[in-house]
Amino acid sequence: MTVVKSRTFREKQGKILLEGRRLIADALKAGAVPKMFFFSRLDYLKELPADKLKGVRLVKVKFEEIKEWSDLVTPQGIMGIFAKPDHVKMTFPATQLRHSLPLLLICDNLRDPGNLGTILRSAAGAGCSKVLLTKGCVDPWEPKVLRAGMGAHFQVPIINNLDWETVPKYLPDDTRVYVADNCGLYTQAQKSNKASDHGWMCDQQLSKIHKYEEEEEEDLETGASKDWLPELEVQSYDLDWSEAPAAVVIGGETHGLSLESLQLAESTGGKRLLIPVVPGVDSLNSAMAASILLFEGRRQLRLRAEHLSRDRS
């Protein structure tokens, strides 16, 4: 049980660990393939669909053992090892699919399990059609992420461990990519060649800016030239930005947005979305920022659909 909780095991063996009757039931309903169940009472198995248990190894153990293995404050007496779900083969809830919107979420360097789980839950609640995770993000199948996700893993397609070069392949045609501006106002770098001169960057962004500036200076010495920071317009998150299929990039609180995410946004005609906060407050929690932007995107898309419906009638 210790080994199965490790990311190395999950990636090499292609298996995940699920705990609790509701999460296991959601996984089975979505088509996840069970391999083994550990349970302390036979009643817990009877709550699961019998046809899904064929060919599955069933192991009865003492509740004390499950309690020792469990990450839950109140263990539920059943744990299951499943084949790692493939989003292409999953059967997502019909209600979820019916309310799905042309709105995607891209997670960039999200390292906190609790934040990612909460973000996935918000993505499912907002009706996102897909969630993409780039390399550097925490494993979405880690127990802490699963616990915080509250079943969202089996409500919305999740594609993880992506290189930035492959991200566009998972976006619908004409998708515009927007980045969450969680460090306050950004200026157009080309105006002064030093965005930090304006004093609008948070500390983590300043460190990245200095890194990019140093790289640019090295390139100049060798005769090479490159744009060290993409030029992206800033707009308030509550102004209209979802007129086309839209993807929102949320960066991790420690590493912030990657240069690749800014370049992708620039190449698709996207912008920085600013969530204004009271002066003196550094930034919002990543999960909170994601929730605000996704539900604002949902509001805009629904409003647009209502206007189109009225125009046709």
Above 50 in pLDDT, residue 184?
no
CATH superfamily ID and name for 1-86: Ribosomal protein L30/S12 (3.30.1330.30)
Among 15-19, 207-211, 270-274, where is mean pLDDT lowest?
Answer: 207-211
Domains of the chain, by residue range, sit at 1-86, 92-188+231-312
Predicted local distance difference test score (pLDDT) of residue 188? 38
Above 80 in pLDDT, residue 10?
yes
Measured CA distances, 51 to 43, 183, 209, 249, 268 (Å): 16, 51, 56, 40, 47
Q: How large a percentage of the chain has pLDDT more than 70?
A: 85
CATH number of 92-188+231-312: 3.40.1280.10
Domains 1-86 and 92-188+231-312 share a fold: no
- Per-range mean pLDDT, top range of 99-103, 201-205, 207-211, 303-307: 99-103
pTM of the model: 0.84
Among 21-30, 36-45, 274-283, where is mean pLDDT lowest?
Answer: 274-283
φ/ψ of 129, rounded to 5, equals -85, -20
Instruction: List CB contacts of 293: < 8 A, sequence separation 6 or more.
Output: 178, 180, 237, 248, 250, 273, 275
* Residue 193 and residue 216 in contact, taking contact as beta carbons nearer than 8 Å: no
Predicted local distance difference test score (pLDDT) of residue 243? 80
